[in-house]
Amino acid sequence: MKYSKKMIAIIVLSIMLISLSAFSVSCLPLTGTTDGGADAGPATAEEPTGFAALFAQYGTWVWLAILVVAFYFLLIRPQRTRSKKAQELVSSLTRGDEVVTAGGFHGRIKDIRDDVIVITIASGVDVKVSKSSVSKNVTTQK
């Protein structure tokens, strides 16, 4: 978990640095300065070059791409890994495993049906819970 928090922090910092550099480039003047000499002609604007030219042409698309990448790494990817772990937990449940439900029940699996698990929480006390409500398998952690 610490590794993913470090990765998220690095990604957020890099996005902030990119946006700060893009903001500073976008604040640069696009026109050249005139000397105020004897020229009576109109001032000609210089074309932006380098990084400024990129943002002059594709600035909106670059911001959109940065936003999509940020959403992927901060929202979509962690949610997929969480759901994948939950799916693996539900599929790995077997009879006799000790589990903890989302409601806080600790017990041993007595029977597994389609979407329901029967858990024995005390001698003679059986509880039916949904498979998706199992939050932890205690026997695999020992």
Tens of pLDDT, residue by residue over 37-94, are 555 555 566 776 777 776 777 777 877 888 899 989 889 999 999 999 999 999 999 9
Rounded CA separation 45/60 (Å) = 22
> Per residue in 116-135, pLDDT tens?
999 999 999 999 999 999 99
Query: What tokens appear for 38 in the block?
Result: 């004897």
**Signed CA dihedral, 74, 79, 80, 81: sign only:** positive
pTM, to two decimals: 0.55
Nearest-5° Cα angle at 29, 27 to 35: 155
